Amino acid sequence: MLDIKQILTNPEAFQKNCKNRRVNIDINSVIEAYHRKNSTSQELQNLRHKQNEIAQQIPKEKSAETKKQLVEEGRGLKNEISRLEKQFSEEETTWHALMQQLPNMTHPDVPQGGEEDARELKRFGKIPTFSFTPLNHLELGQNLDLVDFDAGTEVTGQKFYFLKNEAVFLELGLIRYALDIAVKHGYSPTITPDLAKIEILEGTGYAPRGNESQFYTIEGHDLCLIGTSEMTIGGMLKNKILDAKELPLRIAGISHCFRTEAGALGRESKGLYRVHQFSKVELFVFSLPEESEKMHAEILAIEEEIFQGLELPYRVIDIASADLGNPAYRKFDIEAWMPGRGAAGGSYGEVTSTSNCTDFQARRLGIKYRDGAGKAVPVHTLNGTAVAISRALVALLENGQQADGSILLPNALIPYCGFDKILRKK
């Protein structure tokens, strides 16, 4: 959530930010709702003060007639206060809902536009060439008996799957590999719940309700399956005030992730690239405001270290304003080369994302630290993917395929998996 005082000071900047992020909301309506609920609050305060004065006056009044008038006046005030309390509650709910729709402000260096306007910042590695026609990960997974989508569909539904044989060790190895790198950089490992309260999802800037929601809700409970452990880790310190000396607080979260992927169709979304459930190691930082851009660079560097160790070609892109999502001030994605992706012999596909959310999530969740003057100030929060297993598998299988149909593993994973190559089953 944004700071209403800043909105009141410079509404034009916030309206321009909404336009650049293609969020259709009128800042004036937010300001009007704010003043309206404040006006009602002031009126309530005045009536309660008057009610208290009358309540104190009645026992002292000696005239029966005057006392009767005061009692009637008090009764009328009680009814009016009751009406205004309901009105204030409705107005506050309306204002809060409007504030919840507002996106974070945007870093001045972020490119303007949508998905197609992301700016490429760098590339790593050489795109592989093959002496044979490369297969996509679906074909490789079937040939090597690594993934069973048919059984997943039968048991659970479309976009669910069973990982089998060496793919199981690949998942476990990738988790431990990424976790070891994160711990080396000072991140504390944690396994988070796979469920979170709706208020926690909303607090981290996501919309768990409505037709556009990407999250599974649990019927009869105020809970959702999480889409990322960013949600659970962010909620860990809800309404806490931290000591500045504790910051930055670095956490590496392991969880399953669940997403409905509503409307996610098409060739490039097939197989493991876009699924309803996957495992992930997430990097999360609670930071001092003045250090959050440095922390953002740190997370990106760790992501690059992980994928360089996996020997995968990739590029880093600076996400454009309308594609940031509400919480992010700035977002960098790593896209790995996937030879089986697209119709033209391969393309880049997103494997990690890292966002600086500044104080957007912390304001909603009430997470603060005490500054040098002892004032409680919102922290900054940042998040980034260390490894999302399903997409990492896509890149590893497709880039590591050999002419004999086997898959060669990168050296960094061999100690974690116990083998260097996946062979066809006899």
Q: Which two tokens stand for residue 171?
A: 């998942």
How far apart CA 107 and CA 90 sit, in angstroms, is 34
Q: How many residues does the chain have?
A: 426
Distances (CA, A) of 374 to 57, 242, 258, 370: 43, 11, 40, 5
Closest CA to 81 of 41, 38, 36: 41
Percentages helix, strand, coil for the chain (3-state, rounded to 5) are 45, 20, 35
Q: Say if residues 320 and 289 touch (Cβ distance below 8 Å).
A: no
Q: Angle 318-320-326 (CA atoms, 0-180°, nearest 5)?
A: 110
Terminal CA-CA length for the chain: 57
The dihedral sign for the CA sequence 124, 129, 130, 136: positive
CA 325 to chain centre: 9
Tally of helices (H runs) and strands (E runs) in the chain:
13, 17
Annotated active-site residue 176? The verdict is: no
Q: DSSP code of 310?
A: T
Q: Is cis: bond before 128, omega within 30 of 0?
A: no
Catalytic residue of the set 92, 139, 350, 406:
350
User: Are the CB atoms for 337 and 127 separated by under 8 Å?
Assistant: yes
Please pick, among 21, 250, 259, 330, the residue that the annotation labels catalytic. Answer: 259
Which entry of 229, 353, 355, 390 is annotated as an active-site residue?
353
Gap between the Cα atoms of 200 and 103, Å rounded: 17
Q: State yes or no: is 353 an active-site residue.
A: yes
Q: Which entry of 21, 250, 274, 341 is annotated as an active-site residue?
A: 274
Q: 305 catalytic, yes or no? A: no
Q: Are 229 and 253 in contact (CB under 8 A)?
A: yes
Query: What kind and span of H or E run contains 243?
Result: strand 241-243
The residue to which tokens 């896509």 are assigned: 394
Known catalytic residues are 259, 274, 350, 353, 391
